[in-house]
Chain A
Amino acid sequence: MAESDALALSEDQYALRDTLRGFLADRLPSAVLRAALDTEVGYSPELHARLAGELGLTGLTIPEEFGGLGMSQAEASVVHTELGRALYPGPFLSSALTAGVLLAGDRAAAEYWLPLLADGSATGTLAAADEAGHWSPGPDSVRAERVKRAGEVGGGWRLYGHRWYVIAGHVADIVVVPAMTESGLAMFLVESRSLGYTASGQLGLDLTRRVCVTAFDEAPAFLLGQGEDAAAALDRAERDFLLATAAEAAGGIAWCLDATIAYAKDRVQFGQPIGSFQAVAHACVDMLAHFQSVSAAARYAAIAAADGSAEAPMAAHVAALRAGEAYRAVTESAIHVFGGVGFTWEHDAHLYYRRAWSAERLAGGLQAHRAAISDLAGL
């Protein structure tokens, strides 16, 4: 791991980055993004279809046998970074996490749903968090019961309970849900059109990423896996979520840095560009330092995951912790350098600021990462 050449972007990964960055710059400029945010679903399904069709990105990490491109976390990291830079509001991340869980579960479900996720004709999400934001099973976990009726597909399971902060829950076609059965943790799939499933969109801090409360009231569910397999799939999904969040932060920080530097060179006060003032210049250098460390951490954690390195769990929490703190600090600093204009609704800086605070919370919060790092280090 220490000497892994994969830590540097390959030529193909540079090409992927540049293609996607160009695509989003053309198709999702600020005005288009803001128009999409004002729609009922909060993103452009047409643009999402092009991301899936033209670029094939919805199938990025889905194996080729299920219609995807079969790439690893190394490429996923590149894609999440660019989507984070553009604050892409479509259900990309939630579908990618869903695909990861399906891959680890029941073969028939994977064969049916993965090709649909890969070509973008279906979207998915993961409903794992309790009201306090914890993913691990607890007293208010969703409960699964088996109904003894003949002819039930998937064994005739029903889910009862709630999950919170479900990303893109309002548009997902399928929802994967960890739930407690009589014999312990299991992973289920619920189709959102089922009776007994509701997702209510909430007024959200992050305007570019909608979250829902989902309710399962006798919702028919398909069993994907149980016991250790289900726990491993949940752990992996959580790790992938941390990796994606850190990569998105690296992209968002890059946007803030570029926009702030350009403004500091251009904006004149006291007869000189504000970037010539040491206090402003040093704030910009601090942003660059955050960019460098978060980019390196996101990259390292992605490669560690792709290589199955023993450092992978530690690297994911380190990346999430440092990204969480840095993204907030950088967006705050950007608004400060922009001054009054940065505090207006029309300026995009607050969209990044909102994402930074929201993402840090959804990824478990800084305290959880610090505690996990201490645990993993063996303290």
Chain B
Amino acid sequence: MTTPTLEEFLKQAGAWLAARYPKAADKTDRRFVWGEGDDEVRVFQEPDPDQEAGALPAIRRWRQELWDHGYGWISGPPEFGGAGLPTSYARAFERLTRQYRVPGDSALTVSLGMVAPTIGRHGTEQQKKHWLPRLFSGQRIACQLFSEPGAGSDLAGVRTQAVRVKVGGDSWRISGQKVWTSGAHLADVGEIICRTASEPRHRNLTAFLIDMRAPGVTVRPLRQMTGGASFNEVFLDDVAVSDDRRLDEVGNGWKVALTTLSHERNAMGHSAFGGAGILSTERLIGLVRAMGKQADPVVRQEFGELLSHLRIARYTQQVMAAQARAGEPPGPEIALNKLALSANMKRLAEFVAAVLGPALVADTGAWGTYAWTSVVLGAPGYRLGGGTDEVLKNAIAQRVLGLPRPA
């Protein structure tokens, strides 16, 4: 079969999308108007767990439709069900889908953006044949079971144990506790890093793909300081896993984890981009006007400072996108964008607090005022999630700048 040109591919894909999904509202129709609609400030994704579960069937149907028509894994190898087209086609398709009202893949970032590539890199032929089509078609959804109460930044210190049992076949028994697991309540399968030997460090871990509905797995929502529950705690009590669910060799779990983390940082860096799109300039201007502070020279100075940081984030995103199109995709320095995001969230919180004054602290019912507390409360979380600012800086210092590790 000959490869279609990008134009042919997009024409066909556009017709396919148009036949199934309504056109998204024009961007100009969605322009922000102060005082209209919901005043929630959507900077910290905090979907209600029940709503998320309710949206899942439509997301699964969307993935299955894509899969059935060759759009489920556009750049994937054909032997695992991919369409075998260049990644530029996949990117172009993704852009095209934004013109339609489709369920989208935002709930599947971990499943498709992090776990699937890890299986692609570390899985056996059989595991790839089994899992990749199921993940990309949405038949199975994966989560990532890494952090523990005693192992946050020091991930290699995980204590969840996997013990090999060779009675009645080759299997493992897993016990321990994981935390900060996004989407555990939606997932069918979890990529888990366990300790399988006492030492040596970094060689005593092994990765598995466990069934999230197996006996002994308990998922509980984790309520964070904002009041919402975007994450879970996962308790594992003597969970049985057969050896064919092991990813890579025994003792190679750290390498597997690094693959997943590099995809996570990539995904976060790409989606974060210093908060390039976190909110509209119109909304900030609306806030300043509503509080009657547009003539205050200090507020105007602070607004100019904040906006410059948000604009730089957007410019950086566009320059990096152009470089990627020219064949120079960003390396590990992409993590700088996540640092910019957490810094910008803090700046945003400080700015809105200054403009709102006491309206920040009590819900007076005035539209678009108290709603900003979600930024103030969410900002510290940005400095922690996806690797703390400090851990990311260590990684950049060593991997980008080539500075020596601490003695």
Interface on A for B, CB 8 Å cutoff? Answer: 1-8, 261, 264-265, 271-273, 275-278, 281-282, 284-285, 288-289, 292-293, 295-297, 299-301, 314-315, 317-318, 321-322, 367, 369-374, 377-379
Contacts and interface: CB of A to CB of B under 8 A. Distances in A.
Interface in B275-333: 281, 285, 288, 294, 297, 300-305, 307-309, 311-312, 315-316, 318-323, 325-326, 328, 333
Contact of A289 (B302, B326, B339): B339
A299 B281 CA distance: 22
Given A321-B304, A374-B304, A379-B285, A285 B312 contact: no
For the residues of A in contact with B, the DSSP-based class is helix
Given A282-B393, A288-B336, A289-B339, A261 B404 contact: no
Contacts of B396: 285, 288
B15 interface: no
B171 interface: no
A292 B285 contact: no
8 closest pairs, A vs B, by CB?
A370-B304, A7-B322, A281-B397, A300-B315, A373-B304, A275-B403, A8-B326, A8-B322
Given A8-B323, A378-B285, A379-B288, A373 B397 contact: no
Given A367-B301, A370-B308, A292 B316 contact: yes
B403 A315 contact: no
B167 interface: no
A261 B403 contact: yes
A278 B404 CA distance: 10
Given A321-B304, A373-B304, A315 B333 contact: no
Contact of B308 (A6, A273, A288, A369): A369
Interface size class, chain B: 35 or more
B320 A296 contact: yes
A8 to B, nearest CB: 4
Contacts of B312: 293, 296-297, 318, 322
Interface in B360-407: 390, 393-394, 396-398, 400-407
A299 B319 CA distance: 8
Nearest to A293: B312
Nearest to B317: A296
**Max count, chain A CB within 10 A of own CB: residue among B281, B288, B309, B315:** B315
A273 B404 contact: yes
A302 to B, nearest CB: 11
A2 B318 contact: yes
A5 B323 CA distance: 8
A29 B339 CA distance: 35
Given A8-B326, A285-B393, A370-B305, A296 B319 contact: yes
B404 A275 contact: yes
Contacts of B406: 276-278
A45 B319 CA distance: 36
Contacts of A301: 315
A115 B205 CA distance: 70
B143 interface: no
**Max count, chain B CB within 10 A of own CB: residue among A276, A296, A297, A301:** A296
B403 A276 contact: yes
For the residues of B in contact with A, the DSSP-based class is helix
A296 B330 CA distance: 13
Nearest to B303: A374
A349 to B, nearest CB: 18
Contacts of A8: 319, 322-323, 325-326, 328
Nearest to B301: A370
A278 B285 CA distance: 39
Contact of B403 (A5, A6, A284, A293): A284
A261 B326 CA distance: 28
A293 B328 CA distance: 17
A265 B393 contact: no
A1 B406 CA distance: 43
Interface string B121-157: 0000000000000000000000000000000000000
B407 A261 contact: no
Contacts of A288: 333, 336, 396, 400-401
Contacts of B404: 265, 272-273, 275-276
Nearest to A286: B393
A5 B315 contact: no
B353 interface: no
A371 B302 CA distance: 9
Given A292-B336, A296-B320, A372 B304 contact: yes
A5 B326 CA distance: 8
Contacts of A2: 318
Nearest to A275: B403
Contacts of B394: 278, 281-282
Contacts of A300: 315, 318-319
B194 interface: no
Contacts of A318: 307-308, 311-312, 315
Contact of A377 (B285, B297, B393, B402): B285
Contacts of A321: 304-305, 308
B184 interface: no
A273 B185 CA distance: 47
8 contacts: A261-B403, A273-B403, A273-B404, A275-B401, A278-B406, A289-B336, A296-B315, A370-B302
Given A265-B402, A321-B305, 5 more contacts: A3-B321, A5-B325, A6-B322, A301-B315, A315-B315
Contacts of A373: 303-304, 307-308, 311
A6 B318 CA distance: 10
A371 B300 contact: yes
A5 B328 CA distance: 12
Nearest to B289: A379
B272 interface: no
Contacts of B339: 285, 289
Contacts of B303: 370, 373-374, 377, 379
Nearest to A292: B336
B307 A293 contact: no
A257 to B, nearest CB: 8
Contacts of A264: 403
B83 interface: no
Contacts of B328: 8
B407 A293 contact: no
Given A276-B403, A369-B304, A370-B301, A4 B322 contact: yes
Nearest to A320: B308
B192 interface: no
A135 B341 CA distance: 35
